[in-house]
Amino acid sequence: MTDKTMTFSLGDQTEQEIRRILILVYDALKEKGYNPINQIVGYILSEDPTYITTHNNARNLIRRIDRDTLLQSLVRYYLTA
């Protein structure tokens, strides 16, 4: 057994693109009367797209973001703020 730390590398989606998509999804959920934060968290935890409305193409948009990339972006935001 080795004691070497594995490294993890993600795709090259830009933070700005992730932010743009999250805002569009958030707005679509809010327009339909959902609690956007709860719905997005449900999607992140389960990767079940039915947590996201199809309104304004939100479901297709959120699926463009790799879930690992999304989580990395959120962690980076809170640790570098």
Number of domains in the chain: 1
User: Shortest CA distance to 76 belongs to which of 10, 20, 4, 21?
Assistant: 10
- Residue 12 pLDDT exceeds 70: no
The one-letter code for the residue type at 58 is A
Residue 9 belongs to a domain: no
- 81 band by pLDDT with thresholds 50, 70 and 90: low
Is the pTM higher than 0.75? The answer reads yes
Mean predicted confidence (pLDDT) in 50-58: 98
Residue 5 belongs to a domain: no
Residue 20 has what pLDDT?
Answer: 95
Residues 62/7, Cβ–Cβ less than 8 Å: no
The alpha carbon of residue 1 and the mean position of all alpha carbons in its chain are separated, in whole angstroms, by 35
Residues 44/71, Cβ–Cβ less than 8 Å: yes
Residue 14 has what pLDDT?
Answer: 86
User: Shortest CA distance to 35 belongs to which of 49, 25, 48?
Assistant: 25
57-79 pLDDT, tens digit each: 999 999 999 999 999 999 988 89
Backbone φ and ψ of 48, nearest 5°? -90, 110
- Containing structural domain, residue 38: 15-80
